[in-house]
Structure 1
């Protein structure tokens, strides 16, 4: 696919924020972000079913295969019951069998966000997000709150009713997984990234569902300039209401980490405190993500491995953790075992993007991030 021209937009985001990106060059960091998102998604995809694949069961599976600590894609299951419980796509996601990425909505939405900004610029409207869904996304490849909003769009409803009518999933994780591109294209400008993510999120979500998208976009944006991941998390907390359940839960994980509780005890504590919300709800998944980032301690492999081992929506959390860790490491800093099997190729249900090169997506993201007024 040949690159499309980038529409006129605001001044370069990386010049507008509180600091300039530091560390690896911006192009390498954006390439790392895309690679990290795809690799983290692939790592978590086989065990994406939180009520079945609990933390204990994931680790038992890894222990049987002598794969703890986890340092590569999931091993092939050694137990017949585990094999039967994995997602149907597992054979294309386990180590030794990865040849390019599987199609997944966690990557589709990153591609769609890029397409949105290329088509409508940074001044896009929520209505234009919905129009692009109808034009480019197959209905059966979207789920939960997005499927409810899609159905509402087809029936003639407009935002914000698309998010609230007959939609029991308004605070689930779907809007959060759509937020990466706003952080990538606003490096060092977390408030601006959060504003873009909010405009997208309100098509399908409310409350903590919207805050999750804002938090993720700001976190990824801040990751370009923050001294540490802990600092990036603090910045991201600043764009959402401090009284929200999302902010209180993320802060709780930060506090337990600072108290030097082991990773397992931190997740056990927060899991008990968020019991009843369900495995696709934004709040408990943000806790798993936050713990993975903090206890990953800046190491790409440890970060995505701990995040996926944390359970719940494993492929979504792995993808977001990979995005943040990829920004920090840059493509050159990601170990070859994660990126080489992807063969620079993404499968996608977004019309016109199936088989697109990861490197091309990164180049197009860079053009948006550095676009002039």
Structure 2
């Protein structure tokens, strides 16, 4: 039924996520908690939804406790002032440009395809399935054509009629002949659309307009779907990313902004600034900072020699006293002291529960997984994307993001043929007029945008 597909649109269903979000932000909400329980226990119907809507607005506007140890600005001027500085401003040599940009697109699409079929699985389930189906250690895309007993044990199917992206085949490699339509690719393509139509001085409203003209509503999720609803009611950015939106620090903006890192390669400050303009359509605070960080990380990767340098440059583009910065610094310090991949991953899983949907989609733990992969495997595309997926949490998002970072760092020539030969090199999306683009075409169009900056 259509009603069953209207996820994240029911205000009463978003109350518990809003409570958790407010606690993350340090808001003083204790006085509203009894009313929250009363509303949750009401009979389903318009009155319950009306009360829930009012409660969400009150919760998100509660003051932040003075004892909250972080300062997390939202206005651009204050946000920029809270960051360390402009950082590097370098250029990719002209003779390397095409290979680097092709590597970015190919890397993202391949990392996404690797992670899509196990999205929502725990790392234990992923490991168990791979072992019992004879695919561990993981060396390439994941297959579903294994023994019936194994398929039944792990709930493996080849078709899902409820899939949101106009594809019913689940993205096991034996089911696919091109890169799949997926939100992780939709938004990268959508950014190309924004830049081609509005130029590098695009506004947040230009991004919002591209969503409404170019992207089906049901191809958005969580924060983006709430923002889409807000936009259709005339609520413009940045309010569109905040109003009744308990998912405002989730991963959505972090997966939307890779293209800005591509076109601002060598200039992480510019990449972060463009990412911020996009991010505020559906996110705020650390949801926005994560987007800025990822765009800057991608922009740093092709012009600096060491993965640790990419991370350090990207961290300059987010506020120094925010939760994301603190988490990244702790991880980076641990890595510098000799922590292994396994130790870094255990630390992330020790603080965040992938079985909890809020943690699973939250920007910070997923940004940490991306960063750990970059630090430990940033010179080896295959190992980087494989570990991004084996880590659990948001597997397709993290596989795609890590793929972008390492893909642009190494160039397409540094991506093993095991990731390119099994599928036609076509980027598929549900973005209007941008539905099927060859990797060659999307690379050339990206470079054309770069040269207009």
Per the TM superposition, whether the score is higher than 0.5 is: yes
The aligned residue for residue 142 of structure 1 is 220
The change in CA–CA distance for 1:163 and 1:352 in structure 2 (over 3 A counts) is same
Work out the CA distance in 1 between the residues paired with 2:448 and 2:383: 31
Q: Tell me the TM-score normalized by structure 2.
A: 0.74
Matched, 1:294 2:375: yes
Matched, 1:285 2:357: no
Which residue of 176, 189, 204 corresponds with 1:111?
Answer: 189
Moved more, 262-271 or 174-183: 262-271
Q: CA shift at 1:344, angstroms? A: 1.5
Work out the CA distance in 2 between the residues paired with 1:140 and 1:293: 32
Partner of 2:387: helix, strand, or coil?
helix
Asked whether the 8 Å contact 1:249–1:270 carries over to 2, the reply is: no
Work out the CA distance in 2 between the residues paired with 1:82 and 1:248: 37
Partner of 1:278: helix, strand, or coil?
helix
Matched, 1:362 2:434: no
The aligned residue for residue 350 of structure 1 is 431
Unaligned runs of 5+ in 1: 1-15
Partner of 2:104: helix, strand, or coil?
helix
Q: CA shift at 1:90, angstroms? A: 9.1
Work out the CA distance in 1 between the residues paired with 2:393 and 2:168: 17
Matched, 1:233 2:311: yes
Work out the CA distance in 1 between the residues paired with 2:340 and 2:178: 35
Matched, 1:37 2:37: no
Matched, 1:207 2:279: no
Matched, 1:322 2:390: no
Q: CA shift at 1:251, angstroms? A: 2.0
Which residue of 243, 250, 254 corresponds with 2:328?
Answer: 250
Which residue of 141, 147, 153 corresponds with 1:81?
Answer: 153
Asked whether the 8 Å contact 1:173–1:209 carries over to 2, the reply is: yes
The aligned residue for residue 192 of structure 1 is 270
Asked whether the 8 Å contact 1:130–1:153 carries over to 2, the reply is: yes
Count of aligned residue pairs for this structure pair: 354
Work out the CA distance in 1 between the residues paired with 2:348 and 2:323: 12
Asked whether the 8 Å contact 1:92–1:99 carries over to 2, the reply is: no
Work out the CA distance in 2 between the residues paired with 1:176 and 1:335: 26
Q: Tell me the TM-score normalized by structure 1.
A: 0.90
Matched, 1:175 2:253: yes
The aligned residue for residue 26 of structure 1 is 97
Asked whether the 8 Å contact 1:183–1:220 carries over to 2, the reply is: yes
Work out the CA distance in 2 between the residues paired with 1:129 and 1:364: 18
Work out the CA distance in 2 between the residues paired with 1:95 and 1:270: 29
The change in CA–CA distance for 1:122 and 1:23 in structure 2 (over 3 A counts) is closer
The aligned residue for residue 133 of structure 2 is 65
Q: CA shift at 1:81, angstroms? A: 2.5
The aligned residue for residue 60 of structure 2 is none
The change in CA–CA distance for 1:124 and 1:101 in structure 2 (over 3 A counts) is same
Asked whether the 8 Å contact 1:188–1:225 carries over to 2, the reply is: yes
Q: CA shift at 1:296, angstroms? A: 1.3
Work out the CA distance in 1 between the residues paired with 2:114 and 2:401: 12
Partner of 2:421: helix, strand, or coil?
helix
Q: CA shift at 1:237, angstroms? A: 0.6
Q: CA shift at 1:35, angstroms? A: 0.4
Work out the CA distance in 2 between the residues paired with 1:87 and 1:318: 22
The aligned residue for residue 11 of structure 1 is none
Q: Output one character per residue of 1:226-282: Cα deviation in whole Å (capped at 9) or x when no partner.
A: 111111011001100122111122222222222333322221112222346510000
The change in CA–CA distance for 1:318 and 1:91 in structure 2 (over 3 A counts) is same
Q: Which has the higher contact order (CA 8 A, sep 6+)?
A: 1
Work out the CA distance in 2 between the residues paired with 1:185 and 1:252: 30
Q: CA RMSD in A?
A: 2.0
| Structure number with bigger Rg | 2
Work out the CA distance in 2 between the residues paired with 1:24 and 1:297: 22
Asked whether the 8 Å contact 1:72–1:95 carries over to 2, the reply is: no
Q: CA shift at 1:140, angstroms? A: 0.6
